[in-house]
Amino acid sequence: MTPRDMANAIIAETAAAHRATPAEVMGRNLSRRVVAARYACIRAIDAAFDWTPSHLGRLFGRDHSTVLYALGKLKKKPTV
């Protein structure tokens, strides 16, 4: 099983746990349920593989900054 196949299996399992389909997770749907599932998938794949945010972004059809946000690695700058 290739890493991409394993990632797809993680996406399918995580999406099902959030009552979403893999197509919804990989698509452009912005409902709270689907975004929560997408972010959970990103976090699960990040934990399973040593992939860069850019690689994860390509997998999900997203920008690397979206992946960083999903992983909680972007901090808001304090406002003055």
In a domain, 77, yes or no: no
Which structure tokens are listed for 64? 């690397």
Q: Look at the chain and count its residues.
A: 80
With tokens 């749907």, the residue in question is: 29
In a domain, 80, yes or no: no
In a domain, 66, yes or no: yes
Which structure tokens are listed for 73? 């690695």
Range of the structural domain that residue 33 is part of: 3-70
The C-alpha R_g of the chain, in whole angstroms, comes to 13
Dist. CA 7–CA 38, nearest whole Å: 13
**Cβ-based neighbour number of residue 20 at 10 Å:** 23
CATH code, domain with 29: 1.10.1750.10
Q: Residues 21-31: pLDDT tens digits? A: 999 999 999 99
In a domain, 21, yes or no: yes
In a domain, 75, yes or no: no
In a domain, 76, yes or no: no
Q: Residues 27-73: pLDDT tens digits? A: 999 999 999 999 999 999 999 999 999 999 999 999 999 999 999 87
Which structure tokens are listed for 9? 């299996």
Total number of domains constituting the chain: 1
